[in-house]
Structure 1
Amino acid sequence: MFNKGNKGLFAFVLTLFMLTNFVTSAQEGESIFNSKCATCHVPHKDMTGPKLFEVRQKWEEGGAMEGSLYQWVRNWQVAAATDPYAKEVADWAPSAMTTFADLSDEQIDAVFDYVDAQPLPGAASDAGAAVGAVATNVATEENDFSWIWYVLGVVFLVIIFSVGGVRRQLQELDEDADKHVKVGSKVWIFKNRKYVGMGVLVVVLAGVTWFFVALNDIGIVTGYQPSQPIAFPHDKHAGINGIDCKYCHNSADKSKSAGIPTTNVCMNCHKQIQGEGDQVEKIKNIYKSAGFSPEGGGSYSGETENIVWNKVHNLPDHVYFNHSQHVEVGGIDCKQCHGDMTKQSALPRVVPVEELNEIEGNVQLTRPTLSMGWCIECHNVKEVSTGTLEGKGGYYDEIHKRLLENDESLYEEYLEDGKVTVNELGGWECAKCHY
């Protein structure tokens, strides 16, 4: 019926059709898994629900009734009532699973095909982490130089006793010549009183200058970077995962304080995301704080612990700062003061003004970060709304209105440079920022 050419063509078309069908099925399975299953399940680890890798084989070997697994996906309660094995699965993690009555057997198979195609987590990274841990321990042991302190202590004691003996001998020798030295010193000072006076004046002026320079450094905390209980990677959360700053610091646009995220906020994601490698230990600290155990389907013990974060941007008690006024009304982006956290892999710190100026869109400033001069300089160049901000600029809109009604010439003077800055609306008044 078929010649050789036709047979080859038929085989090629059949193969192409099967590959196309497989790819289409895998794509459909991935789409369904991500939209309906990924909240509670992952292929190779028990989460809120059990791992799904080779689950069809597991149910078959466990003695499940034919078609029971498909019934479980569509309505687990019906499956548990009719199949003893499904009842065992329901008892493993007594949490209500969402029903998916609209899924066909083919779609459920597509999901399982996609899950079974996922590679097992590589052991190479774990082995590398173990080797790294061993290497770190070895390096720590090799770098233990505590014995040096004992040696230095003995050396210092010898030096102290030796200096004491030499001092006594010199004191005895100087007693005889002391009177001659005193007379000679007085004569030299009197003869060179002009130069001595100039020297004393220079020393006094240098001391006064140093004193006032030192006063300018009081309260300057540029580069301050406190330790934290968890090395939180902002670049992964805000950068790679694109989480908005206000999801965790949810009061930044509503309150004076930006707020520190509670453990419950962390658990919104990390109840499912348990991490890999060195991330596991960090996430365990969150579980410990929440009193959560990820084993089985996950459960809460009710025994919680506070995570004590150390504040980075800590202003003096006499300084008033309102996040909502700057974020919501002023429209200031977080990166203006905190830097680009999407690229911040290290612990949070007070970012130097030079680094802040390199960020696109930031107001260019010169004074040290978090200093009074830094705030004043920003208030001098940052403009505020000259019109309605859809309900967000009522405070400034009222000032604009009063200026127009009471002193239009002053208002026009403000607008000579094409903008109205914060200081022109009272942003330099002491009481604005100080109690």
Structure 2
Amino acid sequence: MTWDVVIVGAGAAGLLAGIRASERGLRTLLLEKNARPGVKILMSGGTRCNLTHATDARGIVEAYGRPGRFLHSALATLSPDELIELFANEGVATKVEDTGKVFPVSNRAADVLAALMERLQRSGCQLNLNEPLTKLSKIESGFELRTSNTTYESQNVIVTTGGKSYPGSGTTGDGYAWLEQLGHTIVPPRPSLTPVTTDVSWVAKLKGVTIPKVGVGVVPLKDIQLGQSTGKQKPLAEACDSFLFTHFGLSGPAILDVSRAITGHDKPRELALRCDFVPYLNGEQLFMQLRQECQQNPRKQIVTLLPGWLPRRLAETLVELLDLTERRAAELSNRHLRQLATAMKETHIPISGTRGFKKAEVTAGGVALKEVDSSTMQSKLVAGLYLAGEILDLDGPIGGYNFQAAFSTAWLAGSSVEAGA
């Protein structure tokens, strides 16, 4: 049987592309190498699945920076509101959290996958599991696809194999080699939205400490001393969000969002994270508040005055590193207080690396965008070949942006592919 379209990879993008193409009446086959589809969906958002962000198409585009312009047509085809409506029609109600992230009301990623699977089944798309693609070739009538089981012919192919993040879910970068053989340029893949590691011993001692909002910047590591300002070095990347100390280093949304600048750097060990643990005050405001607290509580040890700004364990650590542990408030000079304020606003943590693809939520790099028609998702180099999702050189910040891009590009590809193309 010759198919109108074969889709390779049954993740978020592949499932939606299959639904869209099949609902349009195309004979559609979806191939998946795993024993079950949507493995990464089930893992995402701490098993809650952050579907999208509470914004409009423009907000999604702006979150990606300059590459976001590639998404205009895809988002015009399936906007964040339309994606939310799509799932609502399948019985998955959603909610918006304070961060703007959109989750299922049930907090169950399994509900998202179940909705996609039910609609896929209704669409008539054929899903073949445990069938990895081994070779993709262009032939006169379209494409030949060899799998571990058999050989298929199709007039069109949509590649939705994802990148290399979370390889345990099956995303091991298989699609890059096939597309490179067909002439596409592959921007070297690297981890994005991945935790950061450090050799600094006091960081590991704080494992489990979470701070709701920390300003983080990736800056060059120079002769940095705690309590001394480095001035206003322009960061390679910056974010302000939740922050978590771990046994290996640092994680949380603020850290994940700046990680692509680290994985893209030739020498990560020459970088540091500049952490502002009190981002809602400037340095002078913090100094004045510290001085006022010391004047009002002269007999207290300084560490007992800091939990209003910092978690107790972090406060104890910073005071110890500044050798102020035994000092009472009355004993602190203005110089000491400025050192403390600077440490709270500009703690620098040298970087040793990241947790890599194994813990990365998305992949930076992939098929060069200039080789894909953003109005259809069809390859500019190979007629009948479409690409969607993480296989593209397009990665966004944490918060549902990457799922939205995957769903929208897949919907557009499924809407654009035609029988007999």
Larger fraction in strand:
2
Sort the TM-score into its range (normalised by shorter chain): under 0.3
**Taking structure 2 as the reference length, what is the TM-score of the superposition?**
0.23
Q: Give TM-score scaled by structure 1 length.
A: 0.23
Look at both structures and tell me which one has the larger radius of gyration over its CA atoms. 1
Greater relative contact order (CA < 8 Å, ≥ 6 in sequence): 2
Indicate the structure with greater helix content. 1
